[in-house]
Structure 1
C-alpha cells in the first residue's frame, strides 16, 4: 500500500502543479507529500521531478512515469464511477475539445442538449484550432476532421464532411476558373491555418501548397474574404453550401475533391467503457448529421 500512496502523491503533485495543492486534495501535509515523492524516487532509482522554490518540472523519466500512472488512476476512477452507478447513468466531469467554429456551431449545442437529459454531468469544453494532446491535457474526447494521425487513440466516425474550393463571381470576373490543380499558381489563394490544400487525383491523396497575400487562422474570416472576391479559399461544407446555393460563391476543381474529410471523435483507450463517454458519443452520432448542411441528402 505504501507504493500506491507514493504514486498517488506523485500523480497529484504533477496534475495540480504544487505540493501544497496535492496535500490539500489528499488531506495530508505538504511535507508528507514531499516525503512520499522522495521515497518513490528512491524506490525507482531515478529523479522524477526538478524542484525549485516556486515550480516543479518533470524529468524525462518522470514524464514517462506520470503518463502511465495517470492512465491507471483514471482507469480506477472510471471503474469506481461505474460501480457506484449500476444503471450506468452518465455522471462526473465530461471534458472535450474541438476546432473553434465547428465546436461553437455544432458541438456545443449538442453538449447542452445532452446535459438536459443527464443533469448529473458536469462539462468542460475547450474550442481551439491547435492540435490538443488529449491525454496530457486531461480531455475525455477530441473532435477532429479528416485523416487521423495518432494511432494510439480510439476513433469513432461521427459524420461526413466535404471541402470545397470556392470563389465569388466578382473574383472570376477578372480571371478564368481553374480546371486543373496546376492552375492554382496563377490564382490569389486565401490561406487559412494550413498552407496546403488537400485533393484527390485518381483516388490518391495529394496536397498542393498554396500562397497568397492574405492569411488568417479563422474560417469565418476566410469566408468573408472569399465572398468579397479577394481570392479562392478551401472551406468545409457547413461554411459555404448556402452561398453556393444562392450563387454568392462558385465551386471549382470539384473533380479533385477528396473524400478523406470525415468528422471523428477520438479518445484514450481506457475511456472506451466510460458510461459518460459511450452515451455522449452515441448522442453525437445520432444527432450531428442532422445539424450539418447537406448531410440529409448524402
Structure 2
C-alpha cells in the first residue's frame, strides 16, 4: 500500500463535502472513495471527516490535514507537469468551463484553433451558465465576467463586454422611446436571467428592477423576443451589435450605459502554472481582445 493512498480521495471529498461528488470528480466509484478515506483514517488512527446521510464535514484534525494534503498534491502535480512539459509542448487533459452563449460564440472556436496546434493535448469544455467551483470540481480554467471575489483563484483579463439597452423599431413606434431610466417603468421589459439592469448616472451606479410579461434565461431567446417587438431588453453587446448595425434594433439610453465588464480567465493558485493553461490563456487573450 502506498503512503499516498487515500489522500486524493480525502481532499476531493473534503472540498466537495460529498463522497458521491468526489467520486464523480475523480472518476471513481462512491464506495471506492469512501473505503479509501476510511483506510487513510485507520492508518492515521484519526477521524478526518464527520459523516451524515446528507453531507460530510471536516474534523479539527481533518481541517489541519487538508491544508497539508493540498500542498502535497500541488507539489506533486507541479513536478509531474514540469517533467511532462519540459519541451514546452502542452499535453494531458485540460478541463475548462464557461457560460454557454459566450463559450459557443467566442471561446470554443478559439480553443478549437489552439487544439489543432497542440495535438498532444486533450480538452474538455463544460458550457454552463452556473458559476462552477473550479477548485473543488477539478477544472484547470474558467472564463468569467464582471467582479471576481474568490481569493483561491488568479484572474487575467482577456477582454471586455458591455450591456446595451435596445428595442425594435416596431415596438418604439408603438410605445415611444424612453428618455431617462425612470421611463422604463412604463415600458414592457423583456427579461432574462437577471432581476436587475445596471446603469450609470454620471459616476453613480444604478440598479433598475425591470418588469414585464416575458422572461427567459437564454440571451438568444431574449434577443429573438426583442426583435419580434415584445419590448425593451438589456443584453451584452455581442448579442445585439449586429442587429443594431443593421437597424433591426435601436440602442436606447446609451448615455447611461453601465461600465464595461471584464472577461477573465481564472485558474487556481499554482507556483508553477502548467504550460497547457499558460499557453491557452495567452491564446485566448490574443483572440478575445480582438
Give the TM-score normalised by structure 2.
0.85
How is 1:64-103 mapped onto 2 (pairs within 5 angstroms)?
Answer: 69-70=69-70, 72-103=72-103
Contact 1:82 1:88 survives alignment (8 Å):
no
Contact 1:90 1:276 survives alignment (8 Å):
yes
How is 1:138-157 mapped onto 2 (pairs within 5 angstroms)?
Answer: 138-157=138-157
Partner of 2:56: 58
- Tell me, what secondary structure is at the counterpart of 1:280? helix
Query: Cα offset for 1:100?
Result: 0.5
Matched, 1:34 2:32: no
**Structure 1 residues 197-238: Cα deviation after superposition (integer angstroms, max 9, x where no partner):** 111221233221112111110011000000001011111111
Matched, 1:252 2:252: yes
Matched, 1:163 2:163: yes
Partner of 1:184: 184
What is the root-mean-square deviation of aligned Cα atoms in Å? 2.7
Contact 1:198 1:205 survives alignment (8 Å):
yes
What are the ranges of 5 or more consecutive residues in structure 2 without an aligned counterpart?
14-18
Q: 1:87 to 1:215 in 2, by over 3 A?
A: same
Query: Cα offset for 1:165?
Result: 0.4
Contact 1:9 1:36 survives alignment (8 Å):
no
Matched, 1:16 2:23: yes
Partner of 1:212: 212
- Tell me, what secondary structure is at the counterpart of 2:194? coil
CA distance in 1, matches of 2:180, 2:64: 48
- Tell me, what secondary structure is at the counterpart of 1:177? coil
CA distance in 2, matches of 1:258, 1:145: 14
Partner of 1:266: 266
Q: 1:71 to 1:140 in 2, by over 3 A?
A: farther
Give the TM-score normalised by structure 1.
0.83
Aligned length: 277
Q: Which moved more, 1:81-90 or 1:156-165?
A: 81-90
Q: Which moved more, 1:215-224 or 1:67-76?
A: 67-76
Query: Cα offset for 1:92?
Result: 1.4
